[in-house]
Chain A
Amino acid sequence: AQSVTQPDIHITVSEGASLELRCNYSYGATPYLFWYVQSPGQGLQLLLKYFSGDTLVQGIKGFEAEFKRSQSSFNLRKPSVHWSDAAEYFCAVGAYAAGNKLTFGGGTRVLVKP
């Protein structure tokens, strides 16, 4: 069965500082990996995804993530955080045989200090 762990429940970062959110997954084959962002009162928005190929993927809003098979990780990074990046971030895993089903981690809430 697939599972996703996001070890950090909350992260506080100063505006302009770098951000890294951790994600570890468990899946037997090559997974499909996703990062979503959820702002208060809104649905989920896809930031980026990894299916195969280059292990460093670029997404929207200046985010990037790196797939490391040896560590079963897919960490999200942003070089310089803006106040508008304050939100909850979810890592998710999918699989070819699972249709559209995504398994989500518990989320990391990001607070941005001025």
Chain B
Amino acid sequence: DAGVTQSPTHLIKTRGQHVTLRCSPISGHKSVSWYQQVLGQGPQFIFQYYEKEERGRGNFPDRFSARQFPNYSSELNVNALLLGDSALYLCASSFAEIATYEQYFGPGTRLTVT
């Protein structure tokens, strides 16, 4: 069975540009969460979506937005990129929206902003 998939694997953007990252959850999983992992740090929670609704938001500026589609896949959008947005962006999927259900993480998208 396929795990959580993310695309693209790597990308390089310039300051001020916009980027869209994509995530496909494990089949049957309805909850998708996004995390940002800056080099040398632990992941930081950005968003959680469940059944296409935003259920949680971390301490990130409004330049960050996300959505979940009817097939439960998700996109993370970041506008007006800053150098500090360079990080590994991780997507995690879960069957339900509570932490007692295991979250499965994808391999991440490595974003470099120059």
Contacts and interface: CB of A to CB of B under 8 A. Distances in A.
A106 B100 CA distance: 22
Interface residues of A, number: 27
Interface of A: 4, 6, 32, 36, 41-46, 49, 51, 90, 92, 94-96, 98-107
A35 to B, nearest CB: 12
A54 to B, nearest CB: 16
B107 A102 contact: no
Interface stretch (B13-21, B38-46, B70-78): B38-46
B31 A100 contact: yes
Contacts of B45: 101-103
Given A90-B42, A106-B42, A99 B56 contact: yes
Nearest to B33: A100
B103 interface: yes
A106 B41 contact: yes
Q: Most chain-B CB neighbours within 10 Å: which of A36, A42, A100?
A: A100
Contacts of B33: 100-102
B102 A49 contact: yes
B56 A45 contact: no
Given A98-B99, A100-B94, A42 B56 contact: no
Given A44-B43, A107-B41, A99 B99 contact: yes
